[in-house]
Structure 1
């Protein structure tokens, strides 16, 4: 049966789009190669009692009237899918040798705290923070759908924002002459991008930093509940979400995509699916290569020539008979660096594969909500995240499995050494479960080329005017993915909702 919308891949943007279209009365079918829906948002269980989310740790734009809330309202899910807010007095807690800074939601308080740490640079700190707020406002004016009247009314603000089009975060730090330690404290949530200041788009940093300032959240009933609620919204409106179906070929004629051929990963049988419109949640470059680049216009081929983001190392751990709140953890994330310069820290880990002095994020999901238990009552979950080089890990895995496992263990040991030295002296004594993921884990379970964590890398080149969007130059075929929108929980909600608006005419976002 041909459906109105055949959606290839079940990442968050695809599920949002599918749920909205199904809710609008359209027939929807979603094909997913993995055994779990949700892409990087999927949840898995280990040892039958420890539950972890693949990649998501905290999210923004979930408050009343913001992107996620508007989508959920449209789906009548806003009372069912709720969120717990991180501590607004310090949702991100930055720790490095000699310095500590809790990032507050209030910008004036942020200025005060930084100025207290760096009194000689108070004026430049204030100027920088206010410039971040102005740039954030300008980016909102420049976000689709564009309002020409609004652009003209705020022309100065928009032009000021546009001046940073090719700027890295480091460029702007340098412009405002911030001291090195202040730069590091402000950028210490670099694992959220997997890029250091010298490589990271200033736009990308502003969007995320100010987004979390307006409210950092965690799902009341875990990310699994969010994903399943979107799946249910599709299925209760007559749609289907079919798992273990790997798309091998797109059906194309006269520059029109009509459907796909997919292999059932359980039976190994080939099945054919057709749709009036095909929505592609697979990595756009990978999908275009499968279809044949020659079928796409020169302009789209140019946009498809993006760099993939770096990949990551994850450690999912459980501790027993230990209350992490006694050691300074709670409704916030902790970001640690042994380096005073994050550019050097990144180069050491990513380029040299040296994790002897790591910079990493720590998150404690069991402390974020009391409505969901992801482990037994006498345990708590603690997770660690840092950058990792795909090519290095791919070579190790292919050439020497033992060395591959040893490298993962070495990285975790370096992180645990730092945690025991700075935060929890006896952590290893309480570890009852640990499992690590590398770039090849991302590739295997989330089907992301080169193990990338965010699709296209969040550099100025990839965040500029030539960034890919949903348009493909083929008929009845649209991209709906982090690389054709933006990565992260709220941005993928936005990506799916914007494409829904474009194809339905039903405007739910500003």
Structure 2
């Protein structure tokens, strides 16, 4: 840790929140010799990587649906390997000939690995757009590759080399995806096929930048995979790295305030009244909440406060969790279904309309991890139907719209809207998959209020910032307060599980003044496998993260 951070305290660093960003940062601080404490306000560690169980039969992922770039030199595998976790998390590769299925009216396409094969599939189903698709893919594949190079290899690069190696990113990275669609003169069907997986980052083509879209697509086109045992395997393994190297992880510990004096943090105040001291505080809360609620705007420069007040988050989600007493033959692990042009669907969301979802993502855990018995009983199906919804939560009732609302789950207005949306989601899912209602054994809807309750995210969005000042702008993990850092999906490192993990290792690198990500991507292993705890018979990743229900038990 830099000498500027070395002051007396209970801990060297306190991490608020246990999402992938917070756990990854804490893991790298722990393996580099720092006393680190992770505080999680919920009862289970993991943030959007946690799972929950129902009916002693089904295990559902909250946010891990699939992960890209999981080959030998992949980003997330490298981060885990650097913590000596390579043998503790196994990624099961999804079909390289079609890990995603895109379905539009009159068009069906399997998305393969590799930009060249992806372009071949696109031009095969959209021959009238061949030239525009070729230019679009050329731009996005170049931007994706350049962004990955900059992330992994640019430490110490000369400015001239940086400019030479990232020319396409400089030209296109911060323009809107809609701008690139227009430039390539693409049809509505081509635009919808290209932006079909926009739910991976939670905003539409007019808000998403080319850089955001390209980096996400490049991530998956390098090969999609799913962690064997479910998303909780990621957070459970990171907890083992933290605690094995002397750190501490606590659940049901809500931070009320980050303590600041003379422009420097000195600890946190819990809602119990307990004060904990540390010269470094890392917030895994989103950026607006960190600035306006946890720290206080009086400690930031006016431009930062203005950005926090006017920030726009990604769209929130509704998620329908479904268990069936049979499999659905012929259905791939991921289906992206669109009933019409994707840009029209996002304009409806911007106008606050959500009568019936016109675009859904359907993800089958039972197809991606068929050998993990906890996911579903033999012969059953376990899947999720996900749709973006308007940002204002007013439609869910006053209690749900209130950021401090606690009693929304019993509010009649909330229950009525939840019932209406459940029926609308079912109707759309059956349009995509065919009839299945008579086989339902479990049905449960999670709303933006659910997301906010478990992760305390602004607006109930799981995607982080959509707008922070100018187009494409996102903050780094450093802040204007000495010793205060922010990690997670609101930072410039991107969305999703891998983006959040990258923010965590980048933050730890800034705190320790080391290029940690290039180090571990180059093969360095900083963790000591001998310090990791044994996994005995019946080891349960959810139990290891604070969850009380054993596999096969109720929650």
For the 8 Å contact 1:393–1:440, the answer to whether it is kept is no
1:401-420 to 2 correspondences below 5 Å? 401-420=411-430
1:55-454 to 2 correspondences below 5 Å? 55-143=63-151, 146-147=154-155, 149=157, 152-153=160-161, 155-156=163-164, 158-263=166-271, 269-290=272-293, 291-298=295-302, 300-301=304-305, 304=308, 305-320=310-325, 322-324=326-328, 326=329, 328-330=330-332, 332-339=333-340, 341-349=341-349, 351-356=351-356, 358-373=358-373, 374-393=375-394, 396=397, 398=399, 401-425=411-435, 427-454=436-463
Give the corresponding residue for 1:266: none
TM-score normalised to structure 2 length: 0.84
Give the corresponding residue for 2:536: none
TM-score normalised to structure 1 length: 0.91
- Please, which of 3, 27, 30 is the counterpart of residue 22 of structure 1? 30
Q: Distance in 1 between matches of 2:441 and 2:486?
A: 42
Unaligned runs of 5+ in 1: 264-268
Q: Distance in 1 between matches of 2:469 and 2:98?
A: 29
Going from structure 1 to structure 2, the CA distance change for 1:102 and 1:292 (only over 3 Å counts) comes to same
Q: Distance in 1 between matches of 2:121 and 2:207?
A: 27
Q: Distance in 1 between matches of 2:153 and 2:479?
A: 18
For the 8 Å contact 1:348–1:355, the answer to whether it is kept is no
**Number of residues of Structure 1 aligned to a counterpart in Structure 2:** 497
Give the corresponding residue for 2:481: 474
For the 8 Å contact 2:488–2:499, the answer to whether it is kept is no
Post-superposition offset of 1:161: 2.0
The runs of at least 4 aligned residues of structure 1 exceeding 6 Å deviation read none
For the 8 Å contact 1:199–1:459, the answer to whether it is kept is no
Q: Distance in 2 between matches of 1:182 and 1:30?
A: 45
Post-superposition offset of 1:395: 5.0
Going from structure 1 to structure 2, the CA distance change for 1:186 and 1:258 (only over 3 Å counts) comes to same
Q: Distance in 2 between matches of 1:191 and 1:359?
A: 9
For the 8 Å contact 1:375–1:381, the answer to whether it is kept is yes
For the 8 Å contact 2:385–2:429, the answer to whether it is kept is no
For the 8 Å contact 1:142–1:151, the answer to whether it is kept is no
Going from structure 1 to structure 2, the CA distance change for 1:417 and 1:149 (only over 3 Å counts) comes to same
Give the corresponding residue for 1:456: 465
CA offsets 1:193-216 (integer angstroms, 9 cap, x no match): 222222222111111011100011
Going from structure 1 to structure 2, the CA distance change for 1:253 and 1:38 (only over 3 Å counts) comes to same
Q: Distance in 2 between matches of 1:168 and 1:216?
A: 25
Q: Distance in 2 between matches of 1:73 and 1:493?
A: 13
SS in 2 for 1:323: coil
Post-superposition offset of 1:262: 0.4
SS in 2 for 1:411: helix
SS in 2 for 1:294: helix
Post-superposition offset of 1:459: 8.4
Post-superposition offset of 1:224: 0.8
CA RMSD after TM alignment: 2.3
Going from structure 1 to structure 2, the CA distance change for 1:16 and 1:260 (only over 3 Å counts) comes to same
Post-superposition offset of 1:350: 5.2
Unaligned runs of 5+ in 2: 1-8, 401-407, 519-555
Post-superposition offset of 1:454: 1.2
Post-superposition offset of 1:349: 4.4
Post-superposition offset of 1:183: 1.2
Q: Indicate whether 1:487 and 2:495 are aligned.
A: yes
Q: Indicate whether 1:12 and 2:20 are aligned.
A: yes
SS in 1 for 2:437: helix
Going from structure 1 to structure 2, the CA distance change for 1:149 and 1:469 (only over 3 Å counts) comes to closer
Post-superposition offset of 1:154: 6.2
Q: Distance in 2 between matches of 1:213 and 1:231?
A: 29
CA offsets 1:31-85 (integer angstroms, 9 cap, x no match): 1111111111121222343211212211123221222111111111111111111
SS in 1 for 2:254: strand
For the 8 Å contact 1:394–1:440, the answer to whether it is kept is no
Give the corresponding residue for 2:6: none
Q: Distance in 2 between matches of 1:103 and 1:202?
A: 19
